[in-house]
Amino acid sequence: MVADLGAAQAALGPALGCDRFAVLPATDLEYSLRGRTVSCALALAFGRSGGLQLELLCPERGEGLHVEFLAEHGPGLHHLGFLVDDIDGVTEVAERFGFPDVMGGTFGPVRFRYLDTRSALGVYLEVVEDPDGLLAQIMPWR
């Protein structure tokens, strides 16, 4: 989570071994946040270091987990993310183990959910279902 996307790319890119980022400008999207519908605009920058994809998120307006995190903690590690084949199945199992689905949404065919795993991992866990491979298509290192 960052407060300034450009500054974070300039500082973190070299430090983390990312030579380029795929940037998605902030777009207002609807999310489900703890059972309510909210709107939030996040500017995103995706970088790659070895086999690891890094995501810089910068809330620009609205409300959501990202806005809350930045206000409460400042910039820092917000979540770990994983691609999954069955987001509903993963969410169901996580909730049985006490990790509730606290925020989610869609971006075209991509579905994502944030699970509150902070008590166990110290961060949220994001699960992403991308049946058409859209995310891979927009990355420059594909």
| pLDDT tens, residue by residue, 91-130 | 999 999 999 999 999 988 999 999 999 999 999 999 999 9
| Interval 20-27 mean pLDDT | 91
Instruction: For residues 5 and 10, give the distance between their C-alpha atoms in angstroms, rounded to a whole number.
Output: 9
Residue 9 has pLDDT above 80, yes or no: yes
Distance between CA 128 and CA 106 in Å, rounded?
9
Pair 43, 5: CB distance under 8 Å: yes
State residue 134 phi and psi, 5-degree precision. Answer: -60, -45
For the entire predicted model, the pTM comes to 0.91
pLDDT tens digits for 34-92?
Answer: 999 999 999 999 999 888 889 999 999 999 999 999 999 999 999 999 999 999 999 99
Domain boundaries, the chain: 5-137
Confidence of residue 139 (pLDDT cuts 50, 70, 90): confident
Contacts of 139 (CB under 8 A, 6+ apart): 22, 46, 48, 53
Q: How far apart are alpha carbons 57 and 44 in whole angstroms? A: 5
What pLDDT band is residue 141 in, cutting at 50, 70 and 90? low
Which CATH architecture is the domain 5-137 placed in? Roll (3.10)
Q: What is the pLDDT of residue 142?
A: 58
